[in-house]
Amino acid sequence: MEYIRYEQQGAVGIVTISRPRALNALSAAVLDELQAAFEGIDQQTVRCVIVTGEGEKSFVAGADIAEMSTLTRAQGEAFGKKGNDVFRYIETFPLPVIAAVNGFALGGGCELSLSCDIRLCSENAVFGQPEVGLGITPGFGGTQRLARTVGMGRAKEMIYGARNIKAPDALRIGLVNAVYPQEELMPAALKLAQTIARNAPIAVRACKKAINEGMQVDMDHAVAIEEKLFGSCFETEDQREGMQAFLEKRKVEQFKNR
C-alpha cells in the first residue's frame, strides 16, 4: 500500500495513515487503502485496533480538497458515499477501534475519529469541521456522529461556525477521552488497547455491537438487543473459564476467543 502502514503488536493492530506531504488528507486512493487495511486485519489474533496518522503534526487534515474542488453534484454525492461506506465499515468493525489523534483532525479527519470507538489525542491536536467555510457540509458522517458524541448544541456551534477546537476543549466537551503529550500518546493508546485485548474477545465484541446498535433505537428495543448479545456469551469457553476462575479465586491466564 502507498498511503497506509499496518503493523501488529501482539494482539493490537495499528493502522497508520501515511501521506505526510498532504497532512494525511483523505484522497479516494487513501480511502480505498484504509478500507483494504481493515479488511486485511486478522480477527482471530487481533483484539483491538489503533488508527493514527503519520508524523507529529496531523492525524488527518480532511478529505482531499484538491481532488474535491472540481466534482459535479453527482460526483460529490458519490464521494460522500465512498467516505461514509469506509467509516461505517470502521464503526461497525467487530473489534474495538481507538483513534490516536496525533495532530490536526479536521473535516474528514474529525469524522474518521468519530467513527472509532474511543478517541485519545495529543496536546497539539486540533479538531474541527471547517466544511461550511469551503462551501460544503461535513460529508463523511460529521453532521450525524459529532452531534451524537458531543450533543447537538456543541456540534452545531462547531459545524455552523467552522470553529476549530484545541485538545483541552475537545476533552471538556467529551470529544476525546484523554489528552497526552505527543510522545506519550501511542504508548497510552497501546496500553488501553492491550487492556481491552486481555478481556474476553467475544464479550468485548458483543459490548461494541450492543452499545452501537442500542444507541440507535428506543430503550425497549435497546434492552432486547442487549439480552440477545448477553445470551450469546454463554456456553462459550471464555465465559465458562472467566466464571470458573472467579469461583476458584484465580486469574484467567488467557481468554481463547472461543
> Given candidates 53, 96, 107, 201, which one binds ligand CO8 under the rule CB under 6 A?
107
Identify whether 241 is a catalytic site residue: no
Question: Of the two residues 13 and 108, which places its CB atom closer to ligand CO8 in the complex?
Answer: 108
Instruction: State how beta strands 48-53 and 12-17 pair.
Output: parallel
DSSP 195-223: HHHHS-HHHHHHHHHHHHHHTTS-HHHHH
Cell of 52: 493514527
Question: Of the two residues 1 and 134, which places its CB atom closer to ligand CO8 in the complex?
Answer: 134
Question: Of the two residues 96 and 128, which places its CB atom closer to ligand CO8 in the complex?
Answer: 128
Confirm if 138 and 107 have CB atoms less than 8 A apart: yes
Question: CA dihedral in degrees (174, 82, 11, 191; nearest 10)?
Answer: -20
Question: Of the two residues 139 and 201, which places its CB atom closer to ligand CO8 in the complex?
Answer: 139
Under the criterion CB under 6 A, does residue 131 sit at the interface with ligand CO8?
Answer: yes
Binding to ligand CO8, residues 30-69 (CB under 6 A):
61-66, 68
Site mask for ligand CO8 (CB under 6 A), range 173-202, x = bound? ------------------------------
Amino acid in the structure at residue 69: S
Question: CA dihedral in degrees (15, 16, 19, 21; nearest 10)?
Answer: 170
> Given candidates 12, 23, 48, 101, which one binds ligand CO8 under the rule CB under 6 A?
23
Residue count at the site for ligand CO8 (CB under 6 A)? Answer: 24
Site mask for ligand CO8 (CB under 6 A), range 64-103, x = bound? xxx-x-------x--xx--x--------------------
Q: Is 123 helix (H, G, I), strand (E, B) or coil?
A: coil
Confirm if 131 and 137 have CB atoms less than 8 A apart: yes
> Given candidates 1, 28, 29, 134, which one binds ligand CO8 under the rule CB under 6 A?
134
Distance CA 190, CA 184 (A): 10
Distance CA 239, CA 48 (A): 19
Which of 2, 7, 54, 131 is catalytic? The answer is 131
Which of 111, 123, 237, 248 is catalytic? The answer is 111
CB of 229 to ligand CO8, least distance (A): 32
Under the criterion CB under 6 A, does residue 165 sit at the interface with ligand CO8?
Answer: no
> Given candidates 59, 87, 93, 104, which one binds ligand CO8 under the rule CB under 6 A?
104
Question: Of the two residues 93 and 104, which places its CB atom closer to ligand CO8 in the complex?
Answer: 104
Cα 79 to Cα 68, 69, 125, 188, distances in angstroms: 8, 12, 26, 34
Identify whether 56 is a catalytic site residue: no
Question: Of the two residues 16 and 124, which places its CB atom closer to ligand CO8 in the complex?
Answer: 124
With a CB cutoff of 8 Å and minimum separation 6, the contacts of 202 are 232, 233, 236, 238, 239, 257, 258
Active site residues: 111, 131
